[in-house]
Amino acid sequence: MGDWLKMQKIKNIGKNCSINKTDFVSITIDFKNTVAENDETNNYIRKAARPATKAYVDVSTDYPVVIGSVKNYLSQYIDLVSQGNQEVNIYVGRKNSNIPRGKQKTDNKEWKFENNIITYTSKSEGLPYNGLAVKQNNNIYVIGNEIDGDIAALRKLVDNREFYFSKSVPERIDYVSEEDLDGLFVFDYLHTDENKEVTINEV
């Protein structure tokens, strides 16, 4: 009878929870380890709340070590697939030949990436951490003036993933400006003497 009541409580919790805007569901049982067990490491589980977007990711930077870090970081939010099986393409890095050059217009905002410098709505600040996350239909572009901007723009993409990975949103653009605190954080972190090698998750 006790187990049946516990199951009914779990079912009721499930009925009262909405995960429409949730990426992950985490459940922890006995988080203070008050129940004696042989294995205390299996009290936590984390699962995706919805099917992940299938994405082909192409990364091109001056730092080969970053390529794996970018893909590992994105794999927390997408289903990495080979080309031909994707719902969206994600092109990362200022050296990526798939990122369009010249004047572009996305979501009624003009931008361009030429000579390794981003111009956004006629503004060109020229800072290392300036970056753009851009969605044009099934293509997502992540670019920065330098690696700082690549990483800052990647974080901008993930922070707004409900738009970038939504089929109902054909266009989206986010700019990492001079005043962007996240961009400043990335720049400061990367240029601290002790941080010679970092991963995206650490930034």
pTM (predicted TM-score): 0.74
Domain assignment present for 43 = no
Q: What is the CATH number of the domain that holds 68?
A: 3.30.379
Domain assignment present for 2 = no
pLDDT tens, per residue, the chain with 203 residues: 445 445 555 455 555 565 555 655 667 777 677 777 777 666 766 655 557 899 999 999 888 888 999 999 999 999 999 999 999 999 999 999 999 999 999 999 999 999 989 999 999 999 999 999 999 999 999 999 999 999 999 999 999 998 999 989 999 999 999 999 999 999 998 888 765 555 555 55
Q: How far is Cα 158 from Cα 177, in angstroms, rounded to an integer?
A: 17
Domain assignment present for 141 = yes
Domain assignment present for 16 = no
21 exposure class (CB count in 10 Å sphere: 0-12, 13-18, 19+): exposed
Q: How far is Cα 122 from Cα 190, in angstroms, rounded to an integer?
A: 28
Contact 150, 61 (CB under 8 A): yes
Domain assignment present for 145 = yes
Q: By residue range, what is the domain housing residue 150?
A: 53-190
| Phi, psi at 149, each rounded to 5° | -70, -35
Domain assignment present for 172 = yes
Q: Please give the tally of structural domains in the chain.
A: 1
Domain assignment present for 114 = yes
Domain assignment present for 15 = no
Q: How far is Cα 175 from Cα 91, in angstroms, rounded to an integer?
A: 16
